[in-house]
Amino acid sequence: MIVVSFINIINPPFSMDPMLAKHLTYAFGHIFANCTIYMAVIAVYEILSNYTGRPWKTNKVFLIAWNCSTIFTLMIYTHHLLMDFAVPKWMLIIGQVFSYANGLPVMVVTAYGALMIVYHSAIKWDFASSMMFLAMFGWVAGAVPTIIDATIVINHIMHNTKWVPGHFHTYMGMGVVAMIFGFMYYFNKTEGTQKEKSLDKLAIVTYFIFFTGLTGSFLYAGKISAPRRWAEHLPEWTASDQVGALCGIFIIAAALVFTIRFIVGLKKIGSNTTDKSLKSAS
């Protein structure tokens, strides 16, 4: 679609059907976002199993759920097009029905599995294990407003409001990104000599409290019909904007702590590797 757009700039008579272009855009964006989640959750399966000493068992129910989720993910991008009258009705029905079904593997299989693998395991909670477990909360919590928005009668009212960035930031910020930060710490801990500090615990608490505030401000703004993608907001909408901006400052501060600690840990890994090489050479 991008290539066709460039050709259209050079040769305007050569164009693409606008509806096809919109479908391709949303299909790519929705599938790409879900792929990041499905790749990141691998770290949850592996790391929580290591901490608890319990294997994350794969059975027929687990495999069937994940295969269904993979198939549904390719189909349900049309829940972003429920407001388009020109989209065939059968596609919109698929978008609603399978959006509901797609949430089940997340809530029933993965979230329940995380609870069961931790239950009575005497797990040692540190940065990595805490981030992985809390990430499951972010993922599941983000799926709830997603399913609500995928309901056609609700979507017609809510989809062009800030309700959508509210659900998206919940499962991406407190889900995927939390999984990535947790894996970063786990990597430094296992490969290097990084030790957990009180600052790390404070950063985790800050990150999740204020990310909940940020996403809450988005969802509340959707409730009062504040539109997304507007350059300016009416006075009655600005209070939620200000709360979100304040929360964003603390989120950035916590993320900086995570990132700086990771970079420092990488340097230690590099120095340890150099020392080992020199000893072996001598």
The alpha carbon dihedral of 61, 67, 69, 72 has a sign of: negative
Q: How confident is the model at residue 259 (pLDDT cuts 50, 70, 90)?
A: very high
> What is the DSSP secondary structure assignment for residue 3, as one 8-state letter?
H
> What is the DSSP secondary structure assignment for residue 226, as one 8-state letter?
P
Residue 18, Cβ density class (10 Å: 0-12 exposed, 13-18 middle, ≥19 buried): exposed
Q: Are 188 and 122 in contact (CB under 8 A)?
A: no
Q: Are 220 and 167 in contact (CB under 8 A)?
A: no
Element (H, E) at 10: helix 2-10
What's the pLDDT score for residue 278? 46
Q: Are 149 and 82 in contact (CB under 8 A)?
A: no
> How many DSSP H helices and E strands does the chain contain?
11, 0
d(CA 35, CA 77): 13
User: What confidence tens digit (pLDDT) does each residue in 112-168 have?
Assistant: 888 888 888 888 888 889 999 999 889 888 888 888 888 888 888 888 899 999 998
Q: Is residue 195 over pLDDT 80? A: no
Q: Which residues 6+ apart lie within 8 Å of 259 measured at CB? A: none
Which residues, listed in sequence order, are joined to residue 227 by a DSSP beta bridge?
Answer: 161
CA-closest candidate to residue 244, choices 211, 212, 217, 206? 217
Mean pLDDT value across residues 253-263: 92
Residue 230 in 3-state DSSP?
coil
Share of the chain above pLDDT 90, in %: 29
Alpha-carbon distance values, 26 to 77, 157, 164, 202 (Å) = 6, 19, 14, 38
